[in-house]
Structure 1
Amino acid sequence: GESLLSATMPILESLGVMPAIEAAGFLKKPGGTFRWGDNAEPWSFFFREDPGGRPHAYQVVRAQFDHILLKHAASLGVEVREGHAVRQIRQLDTVDGAGVEVTALDPQGALFTASAAYLIDASGQSALLGTRERLREFNPFFKNLAVFGYFENAKRLEGKIAGNILSTAFADGWYWFIP
């Protein structure tokens, strides 16, 4: 899942994708709830309390959310190609400035080349461009362990904070729970 922030809402509105996001039925997220320390009382914040704040954001199922965004982009005329494996990325020097050319293998095994002024690497932690260009730098301080899981029928917070993300710290780390 993904726990969106309220600052995302105006962006989704300006893109015109908000009706599809709302129709997906994602859980509304009014804010966040935190508990730090062994005996600390939980405290919450609410997006609506921020000057100009929105009443809520959403807790989204990431794959479903991404698919909604992809379909919306296609509906606006974006040429969408899925299932392609990138084979080469080449920077171009053009009269108008820098550009990029990408060569990929389509699902049938044919090569496809496209060029653009900008390349957005949306490959997540695999960091396609950063890995290929040897741009990734790891900070040894953050070399740690993260465990995640999905649970059915997990008990949520109740009342007006029921849709909040819950972040809790303890002696050896911290966790968050996204309903």
Structure 2
Amino acid sequence: MIKTPEREKTMLFSRPMMGRAQPNAKFHEAVPPFRVNQLYFAVSRDNPALLQELNLAADQLIANRPYFVSHLYRLYYGQQGSAELRLSQKENDYLKAHPVISAVAIAREKPFAYTDENGQLQGVIRKLADRIEQDLGIKPHIITVQTRDDADAALADGSAQILLNPPATSAGQPHTA
């Protein structure tokens, strides 16, 4: 989560430095890169005690297991920072048993998701579907709709299993820029 002035009105952010907390330290100023803590939290502004506990837990975790974050990175991204997706055996078995996954896309906003003159999905969401196919070895069957209500109906009746582009607007309401 990115710290912005708007979010600071309702949230508290953890400090980005490892090591013991100092109550008056200015932690969000320039920090040398070797001191950045990759365990970063944001909590409701009305719960500073929770943030203090999370910061302490992060300190203890890094102190006791200094390579913890590196271990997680290797586990999920590979040794050399590869973009290869790593799935569990259960996930792989599911994908082998379901080589076609039905997806619905709300195709009404260029350049994100729209249909071409042949009714085929284009845009960023098309590239996402292609990447899903490449990474997971499955074939997405894509249904294009124009409204959130139609997407919800496709999910409800089982004609689609996933929604590729959940809108940030309310159901039935078109996105307006």
Q: Same-fold call, TM > 0.5?
A: no
- Structure showing greater relative contact order (alpha-carbon pairs closer than 8 Å, 6 or more residues apart): 1
TM-score (norm 2): 0.24
Q: What is the TM-score normalised by the length of structure 1?
A: 0.24
- Greater share of strand: 1
Larger gyration radius, structure 1 or structure 2? 2
More helix by share: 2
